[in-house]
């Protein structure tokens, strides 16, 4: 266990450097620990001790002087307060009190119950005390590792010579060539020796959920609140397909969030299901809103099934499955409890695609807004698929599939057949280990505080953006330079029946009270009409920054700054945002966030403002862009580019266009599975988007922004949905006019003809 030396001991003692008997004894203990290569962190005050713990949460043992001098921090901050704070974040790390035997009777029971023992540094020898500390640290760390990761480490340490796959044999093969040696050095010996195969019986089987893999999945189910959990190494795309292939068969009717991930459409194609769509709201920024609660009413669902031309004998047909994206990409969380209640008798299976909210279980702010919440009464069987790698701490492609049993039967052996369809017989063990570690990180109290830190950092950033805007308006700027970026969030919140600006609200109130983030039907800030009270909530850790250009009600303003220009600048500065819309971009505050990160983003936004206000030459702001397209951009300034791009988007009324594109669904001409069969057989023709009207598409067409399908496989554009054609043509023309800022559109083939970009979509038939 040589890795133990990476876990320091924290000593909080204000006499550590004093020339007293207590100080000399403390220094001797530190000396004994260091003699055995055990690292020590020293803190001389209660405040320093707390900061040291928060910045070194991996400490293996903590020694606290009970006689620490109290400090004034919102009252007097004492050793007792230090213990309370540490225990809230880590209930298991050993804590020893340094005190005198006679003083024990004065220590409160609430403190005694939270510590692991006492140290009498003036009575026992420094060597004895150091050994006691080291023993406690070792015992603590022996239980830190979760089952699969522990087994993987033990195997790698014990079996140094393998005679099984993979062929690089613990990395040895890479050492036989120059590029292999660089690869080996880059990733390191342990990563390559831990790359094992299913030939290792010691580590169990992911396909059979046996051994330490099975233990890890059982622990994950306990931590995430599921009846059963499956580790998925193909991402949530694979997890979604497992859910559908295990429950849906050809011809089954499925209720589908129109804001579904591509993998759900792939599952619909694979199963041959008949989709009936639930329509989400949109606002003027193109931000995806929630599906209105009214969409889940029994009579509305019956009407949708009755009106679907692909359903045979709709009068006698019911839906098999409903899938909801929760939260949305932009951070809208549903009341999962309310949806389950509304769909109680409508479907036996309910699938929440929670790729972006795998942390919701661990903080009370999200109570009732995730699939694995505690259900009071039996409803549909609930599946929750989560991208652990996106929002918690796991390797890419590491996801979890959680099951909460309801009235829809889930037979494990049958379900596992679908699981094996999307799981390699040679799974990547390091992905499994990262899921195992992610589970252990979220277990107990630590999960809440890990998420809480992310929420707190997001709140600080949100409030700072409001403060900066106020300072700019009040500062010595010319009137034309009063602008600043805003944040998509409530303007005001209610606190004890009184309304106050969000920028002035108490941080703890914003952190702990879901009501601060609810989409109130009477508020204008969110831009969604007809939202039901208490139904949807904005997740505070998903921060959408708005750029100038769109006024109240979605009216395009005379001037604006398209977000694509801002995020290109940020990317050049090393800041990569999660998603870019026309006048908005999304940044995520997850477990990996640090205070410096948001400060850097603020600083770069300030720099962009200065460059824009000065109309700095594009040769200085985007030299690569000018170098690649000199005829288009040479001699122009940053403000010139923004003015021209905004003018194009305003002339195309982009806000109205996006709303109209999603207002009416295209005609369902055939099932997605049938359209895909035409594609595979080659019975398709590439059609320019300008000629799509009257054609049935064979693929899903998804423009980014806003990242929502405008048309699904098997759907036909008609005169009623001409807006889809006009929208795709406007994107095509935008790409030609602004090279370097091309649209990302899944489902189209791009061909350059006479200097123009032409979009083609595969359509059924000639």
Q: How far apart are CA 163 and CA 512, in angstroms?
A: 54
Q: Which residue in 241, 351, 390, 646 is the catalytic one?
A: 390
Cβ atoms < 10 Å from Cβ of 443 = 17
Q: How far apart are CA 464 and CA 472, in angstroms?
A: 12
Cβ atoms < 10 Å from Cβ of 315 = 8
Active site residue 361: no
Cβ atoms < 10 Å from Cβ of 405 = 14
Helices (H), 308-425: 336-342, 388-391, 412-421
Q: Maximum CA pair distance of the chain? A: 94
Q: What share of the chain is helix, strand, coil (3-state, %, to 5)?
A: 45, 20, 35
Q: How far apart are CA 589 and CA 607, in angstroms?
A: 22
Q: How far apart are CA 93 and CA 68, in angstroms?
A: 20
Which residues share a beta bridge with 383?
351, 403
Q: Which residue in 121, 134, 209, 261 is the catalytic one?
A: 261
The closest of 150, 140, 115, 88 to 447, measured between CA atoms, is 88
Q: What is the 3-state secondary structure (H, E, C) of 257-277?
A: ECCCCHHHHHHHHHHCCEEEE
- Within 8 A by CB and 6+ apart from 298, the residues are 345, 346
Q: Which residue in 14, 195, 330, 353 is the catalytic one?
A: 353
Distance, C-alpha 593 to centroid of its chain:
12
Active site residue 17: no
Q: What is the 3-state secondary structure (H, E, C) of 116-183?
A: CEEECCCCCCHHHHHHHHHHHHHHHHHCCCCHHHHHHHHHHHHCCCCCCCCCCCCCHHHHHCHHHHHH
Active site residue 19: no
Q: How far apart are CA 459 and CA 389, in angstroms?
A: 23
Q: What are all long-range contacts of 632-638, with beta carbons under 8 Å and residues at least 24 apart? A: 632/738, 632/739, 633/740, 638/565, 638/611, 638/612
Please work out, in degrees rounded to the nearest 5, the angle formed at the alpha carbon of residue 347 by the alpha carbons of 346 and 353.
125
Distance, C-alpha 282 to centroid of its chain:
21
Q: How far apart are CA 694 and CA 667, in angstroms?
A: 10
Q: Classify residue 737 by burial, with Cβ atoms within 10 Å: 0-12, 13-18, 19+.
A: middle
Under a CB-based contact definition with an 8 Å cutoff, are residues 256 and 264 in contact?
A: yes
Q: How far apart are CA 156 and CA 62, in angstroms?
A: 31
- Within 8 A by CB and 6+ apart from 740, the residues are 568, 622, 625, 628, 629, 633
Distance, C-alpha 235 to centroid of its chain:
13
Q: How far apart are CA 635 and CA 618, in angstroms?
A: 7
For 20-34, give one letter per residue: b (16+ CB within 10 A) or e: eebeebbbbbbebbe
Q: Would you name the residues annotated as active-site residues?
A: 261, 353, 390
């Amino acid at each position: 266990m040589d890795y133990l030396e990476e876990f320091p001991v924290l000593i909080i003692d204000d006499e550590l450097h004093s020339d007293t008997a207590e100080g000399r004894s403390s220094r001797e203990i530190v000396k004994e620990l260091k003699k055995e290569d055990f690292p020590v962190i020293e803190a001389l005050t209660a405040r320093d001790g707390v900061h040291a713990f928060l910045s070194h949460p991996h400490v293996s043992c903590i020694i606290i002087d009970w006689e620490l001098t109290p400090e004034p921090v919102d009252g007097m901050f004492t050793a007792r307060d230090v213990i309370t704070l540490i225990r809230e974040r880590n209930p298991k790390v050993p804590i020893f009190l340094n005190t005198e035997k006679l003083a024990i009777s004065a220590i409160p029971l609430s403190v005694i119950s939270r510590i692991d023992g006492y140290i009498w540094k003036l009575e026992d020898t420094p060597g004895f005390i150091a050994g006691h500390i080291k023993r406690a640290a070792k015992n603590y760390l022996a239980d830190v590792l979760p089952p699969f990761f522990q087994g993987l480490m033990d195997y790698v340490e014990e079996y140094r010579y393998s005679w099984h796959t993979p062929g690089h044999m613990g990395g040895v093969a890479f050492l036989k060539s120059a590029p292999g040696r660089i690869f080996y050095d880059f990733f390191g010996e342990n990563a390559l020796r831990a790359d094992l195969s299913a030939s290792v019986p010691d580590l169990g089987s992911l396909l059979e959920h046996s051994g330490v893999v099975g233990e890890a999945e059982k622990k994950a189910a306990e931590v995430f609140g599921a009846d059963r959990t499956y580790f998925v190494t193909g991402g949530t795309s694979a997890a979604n397909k497992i859910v559908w292939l295990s429950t849906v068969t050809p011809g089954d009717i499925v209720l589908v969030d129109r804001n579904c991930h591509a993998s759900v459409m792939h599952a619909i194609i694979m199963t041959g299901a008949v989709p009936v769509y639930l329509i989400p709201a949109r606002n003027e920024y193109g931000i995806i809103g929630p599906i209105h609660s009214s969409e889940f009413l029994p009579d509305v669902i019956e009407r949708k099934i009755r009106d679907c031309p692909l359903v045979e004998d709709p009068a006698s047909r019911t839906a098999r499955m409903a899938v909801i994206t929760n939260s949305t990409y932009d951070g809208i969380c549903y009341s999962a409890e309310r949806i389950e209640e509304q769909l109680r008798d409508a479907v036996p299976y309910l699938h929440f695609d929670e790729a972006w909210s795998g942390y919701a279980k661990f903080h009370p702010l999200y109570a009732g807004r995730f699939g694995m919440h505690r259900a009071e009464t039996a409803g549909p069987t609930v599946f929750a698929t989560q991208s652990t790698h996106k929002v918690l701490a796991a390797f890419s492609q590491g996801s979890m599939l959680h099951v909460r049993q309801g009235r829809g039967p889930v037979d494990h052996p049958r379900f596992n057949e679908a699981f094996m369809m999307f799981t390699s017989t040679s799974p990547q063990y390091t992905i499994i280990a990262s899921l195992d570690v992610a589970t252990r990180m979220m277990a107990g109290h630590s999960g809440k505080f890990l998420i809480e830190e992310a929420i707190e950092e997001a709140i600080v950033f949100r409030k700072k953006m409001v403060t900066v805007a106020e300072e700019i308006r009040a500062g010595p700027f010319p009137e034309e330079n009063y602008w600043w970026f805003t944040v998509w969030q409530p303007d005001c919140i209610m606190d004890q029946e009184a309304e106050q600006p969000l920028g002035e609200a108490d941080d703890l109130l914003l952190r702990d009270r879901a009501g601060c983030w609810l989409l109130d039907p009477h508020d204008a800030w969110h831009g969604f009409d007809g939202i039901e009270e208490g139904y949807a909530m904005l997740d505070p850790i998903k921060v959408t920054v708005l750029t100038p250009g769109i006024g109240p009600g979605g009216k395009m303003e005379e001037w604006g700054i398209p977000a694509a220009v801002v995020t290109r600048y940020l990317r050049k500065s090393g800041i990569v945002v999660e998603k870019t819309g026309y006048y908005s971009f999304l940044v995520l505050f997850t477990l990996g966030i640090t205070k410096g990160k948001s400060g850097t983003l603020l600083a770069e936004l300030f720099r962009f403002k200065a460059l824009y206000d000065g109309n700095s030459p594009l040769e200085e702001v985007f030299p690569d862009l000018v170098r690649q397209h000199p005829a288009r951009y040479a001699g122009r300034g940053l403000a010139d580019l923004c003015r021209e791009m905004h003018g194009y988007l305003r002339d195309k009324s982009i806000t109205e266009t996006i709303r109209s594109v999603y207002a009416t669904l295209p005609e369902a001409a055939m099932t997605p599975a049938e359209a895909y069969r035409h594609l595979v057989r080659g019975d398709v023709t590439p059609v320019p988007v300008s000629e799509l009207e009257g054609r049935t598409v064979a693929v899903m067409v998804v423009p980014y922004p806003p990242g929502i399908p405008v048309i699904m496989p098997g759907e036909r554009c008609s005169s009623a949905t001409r807006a889809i054609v006009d929208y795709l043509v406007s994107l095509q023309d935008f790409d030609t006019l602004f090279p370097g800022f091309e649209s990302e559109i899944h489902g189209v083939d791009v061909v350059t003809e006479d200097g123009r970009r032409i979009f083609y979509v595969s359509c059924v038939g000639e």
